[in-house]
Structure 1
Amino acid sequence: MDYQTILVEEKNAVGYLTLNRPKQLNSFNEAMHKEVAKVLKAWSKDSTIRAVVLSAEGRGFCAGQDLGDRAVAPDADAPDLGLSIETYYNPLIKLITDMPKPVICSVNGVAAGAGANIALACDLVLAAKSASFVQAFCRLGLVPDSGGTWFLPRVVGRARAMGLAMLGDKLSAEQALAWGMIWQVIEDDALRSEASTLAEHLASQPTYGLSLIKKAINTSADNSLEDQLCLERDLQRLAGRSADYKEGVQAFMQKRTPIYQGR
C-alpha cells in the first residue's frame, strides 16, 4: 500500500514504521496521524508481526505537531487544541502502550514536543548520539501532551520533569540515558542496524509473555503494592497456561533452543 507520510516494511516478524516527512522534521499533520494509526491498529491484531520499530527519515525524529497544519490568523477564533489531542494524540499514545508486543523507538535526531513523548510511550528507546529531546510546549504557552506529564515524572522524577517542562531546554541523548529516560545510546551510523537486531531478537522470544510484562509495568505506577501483587498473580496464571511457556520448559528439559509462537 502506498502512503504519503510514512514508510512501512514487514520483515522477519518485525513491523517497521518510519515517519517520512523529513522536510518538516517529521512533524504530525492529519494525514500522518491517520496513516500511523491505520498501520499500528493492523499490526496490533496481526500475529505474524511480533515486534514493532518506530523510526524516522531525515535529520530529526519528530518535531511534534506541524504548526502549519493548524495555523491561526490573528483575527481568527482560537482553535480547540483539546479536540486535536482527543482525536489524534491520545489514541496514538494508547495504540503504542496497549500494543500487545514490544515497540522499539529509534530516535535519529531531535525529538521535540509530542515527538519526545511519543518516544517515551514506546517500550524501549534507542537514540543516536546526536539525538536530543525537547519539551518545547512551554515556548508556545502550552502544556506537555501525548502523555508527557505522566511519563516524565515517572522516569526522571518531579524536579527534573518540572525543569524540562517549564524551561524547554534540549536534553542530549547521553543525558537522557543518564536520567533513565531511554534504554541505550548508539553511534549514529549503527542506529538502524541495532534497532533491527533488537527487534528481531524480541520477535523470536515468547512475545505473549512480553505483552504481559508490558501490561504489568505500565499498570504498576497507579497500583498499590497489594493491587500489583494480585495483578502479578493473575498475569502469571495466564502466562503459565500459554503455549510459549510449555515450549520454553520443554526446550529447557530437552536442552534445545525453544521455538516460540507468541501465544
Structure 2
Amino acid sequence: MERQSPADLARALYAALAAGNREELDALLHPGFTGRTAEGMPFGIGGDHDGPAAMRRNGWGAIARHFDARAEPERFLDLADGRLLVTGRYQGRGKQGGAALDAAFAHLIAIDQERIRSLEQYTDTARWHDAASRLRTVLLDFEGGLATLRLNRPDKGNAIDESMAADLAEAATQIAERSDVRALLIASNGPNFTVGGDLGLFAGTPREQLPNRLRRMIDSYHLAIERLTSIDAPVVAAVRGGAGGGGLGLLYVADIVVAADDARFALGYGALGLTADGGSTWFLPRMVGMRRAQELFLLNRRLTAQEALGFGLVSRLAPYDAVESEAAALAAKLAAGPTRAFGAVRRMLRQSFETGLGDQLTAEKDSIVAASTTDDAQEGISAFVGKRRPNFGGN
C-alpha cells in the first residue's frame, strides 16, 4: 500500500470533519491523539483534549453544536521538526444568528505511524465570538465556570431599549442552558451601570404605539430576570455610576451587589407618571421593607451609595476603580463553591416570604437530604473531617 504523506492525511482529516464521518476520523487519529483548541474560543471550547473521543466531543463536537462551519485548508508546509503546518480559513456562521464566520487558522499537526498524533489550533478567536452570538447591546463571556454579562450601551448610559431587553433574555437563556456555569458576574461598560429604560426611545414613540412597544420590551426583560433568578449559580453585580428604574432588576437578581462609594440609585417612575417594572414591587419590599419601598416609589427619593447600603439594596461599597475587581474576586470565589447547594439556597430564600414555617421546614429537610447525595457534599464533609480546604466540582 502506498504510504500517505502528512499533507494527504491532513486533507483526509478535513474532509472527514466536513462530512461528519466518525469512522474515518477513528481511522485517521492515533489512539494517543491529543488536541488543543485556541484559548479564548467562545462557549468554553478552548483548551486541551486528551484522546480522540475527548476531541470529538469537546473540541470538534462543541464547535459543531454552536457553529455551521468548516475548515478550508489553503497551504501545507512541512516543518523541520517533522510536523505539518496547515494554514487556511474557517468559513460558516454561528447557529445563534451572529455574524458570518471568516477566521484565519494555523494548525500544527504531528504524524505517528501514518496516523495523526496531535493537532494544535491557532485562530482569530475574536471572529469566532462575533459569529457566536446575535447579542448586540450586551457582552457575554464564559471562562472557567464564570459567566460575565456586561451591559454595552455606554454612550446611552446603558439604557434598556428593545434590543437590550431582547439581548438580556437571550443571554439569560444561554447562561441557564449551561451546566458548567458556577457563578455569574453582571457589570457594565461606561460610567453608569444603567439609567433604566430608554426615555429617548419612549419620547420618540407615537402615543398609540407606546403601550405595545413597552409590552414587547418588558416581556423580554422580565424573562431575563426570571431566568437569572432560577439558575443555581450565584450572581454578583458590580455597580458604578447611576443605577435606576427597571435597570434595578439586574441588582435584584444578584445575591451580592458591590457598588462604588459614589454610586447613585433611583426608581424615577413617579416623575414620569409611570408604574414599576423589573420586579421592583416584588423585590424592594423584601429587601428594604415596606415603608422604605413606599417612600422610594411615592417620593421619588434618590439614594446615595451609603444610603443604599443602609437600606440593604447593596451588599458592600468599594472605591470606583476597585468595584469590578472586588466583584470579580467574589464571583470567582463563589464559582469554586458547591453550585447545586447554592442554587437550592437561592430558591429557598426567595420562596420563604410566601411559605409558611411548616412548609419551609419541609423544604429545608428535602433540600438538605437531596444535597447530601451530591459529590460536593461528600467532598465538603471529607474536607471538614480531614481539616483541609474542600475542592468542590459544582456537582
TM-score > 0.5 by shorter chain: yes
Tell me the percent identity: 34
Query: Which one is further off, 116-125 or 15-24?
Result: 116-125
Q: Does 1:180 align with 2:312?
A: yes
| Separation (CA, whole Å) in 2 of partners of 1:194 and 1:88 | 30
Residue aligning to 2:242: 110
**In structure 2, the residue corresponding to 1:62 is in which secondary structure?**
coil
| Separation (CA, whole Å) in 2 of partners of 1:74 and 1:47 | 43
Residue aligning to 1:90: 222
Structure 2 gap ranges (5+): 1-128
How far off its partner does 1:146 sit? 1.0
Residue aligning to 1:13: 145
Greater helix content:
1
How far off its partner does 1:165 sit? 0.5
TM-score of the superposed pair, with normalisation by structure 1: 0.93
Q: Is the 8 A contact 1:72 1:78 kept in 2?
A: no
Greater strand content:
2
| Separation (CA, whole Å) in 2 of partners of 1:140 and 1:67 | 9
Residue aligning to 1:203: 335
How far off its partner does 1:85 sit? 5.8
CA distances 1:203-256 after superposition (whole Å, capped 9, x unpaired): 001111111110110110111111111111111111111111011112222333
Residue aligning to 1:260: 392
- Relative to structure 1, the CA distance from residue 75 to residue 180 in structure 2 (aligned partners, 3 Å threshold; closer, same or farther) is closer
How far off its partner does 1:11 sit? 2.8
| Separation (CA, whole Å) in 2 of partners of 1:109 and 1:86 | 23
Give the alignment's Cα RMSD to 1 decimal: 1.8
Residue aligning to 2:323: 191
**In structure 1, the residue corresponding to 2:193 is in which secondary structure?**
strand
- Relative to structure 1, the CA distance from residue 87 to residue 128 in structure 2 (aligned partners, 3 Å threshold; closer, same or farther) is same
CA distances 1:54-78 after superposition (whole Å, capped 9, x unpaired): 0111111011111333445566455
Q: Does 1:145 align with 2:277?
A: yes
Residue aligning to 1:48: 180
Q: Does 1:232 align with 2:370?
A: no
Residue aligning to 1:101: 233
Could you tell me which amino acid in structure 1 is paired with residue 343 of structure 2?
A: S
Residue aligning to 2:159: 27
Q: 1:136 aligns with which of 268, 272, 284?
A: 268
| Separation (CA, whole Å) in 2 of partners of 1:164 and 1:39 | 30
Q: Is the 8 A contact 1:22 1:60 kept in 2?
A: yes
**In structure 2, the residue corresponding to 1:59 is in which secondary structure?**
coil
**In structure 2, the residue corresponding to 1:260 is in which secondary structure?**
coil
**In structure 2, the residue corresponding to 1:41 is in which secondary structure?**
helix
CA distances 1:24-57 after superposition (whole Å, capped 9, x unpaired): 1101122222222222212222232210000111
Residue aligning to 1:166: 298
Larger radius of gyration: 2
TM-score of the superposed pair, with normalisation by structure 2: 0.63
Q: Is the 8 A contact 2:161 2:217 kept in 1?
A: no
- Relative to structure 1, the CA distance from residue 180 to residue 225 in structure 2 (aligned partners, 3 Å threshold; closer, same or farther) is same
Q: Is the 8 A contact 2:173 2:224 kept in 1?
A: no
Q: 2:379 aligns with which of 241, 247, 257?
A: 247
Q: Is the 8 A contact 2:169 2:221 kept in 1?
A: no
| Separation (CA, whole Å) in 2 of partners of 1:76 and 1:37 | 26
Structure 1 gap ranges (5+): none
**In structure 2, the residue corresponding to 1:90 is in which secondary structure?**
helix
Q: Is the 8 A contact 1:137 1:144 kept in 2?
A: yes
Q: Is the 8 A contact 2:241 2:263 kept in 1?
A: yes
Count of equivalent residues: 263
Query: Which one is further off, 53-62 or 74-83?
Result: 74-83
**In structure 1, the residue corresponding to 2:317 is in which secondary structure?**
strand
Could you tell me which amino acid in structure 1 is paired with residue 191 of structure 2?
A: R
Q: Is the 8 A contact 2:166 2:217 kept in 1?
A: no
Of the two structures, which has the highest relative contact order with CA contacts closer than 8 Å and spacing of 6 or more?
1
Q: Is the 8 A contact 1:127 1:191 kept in 2?
A: yes
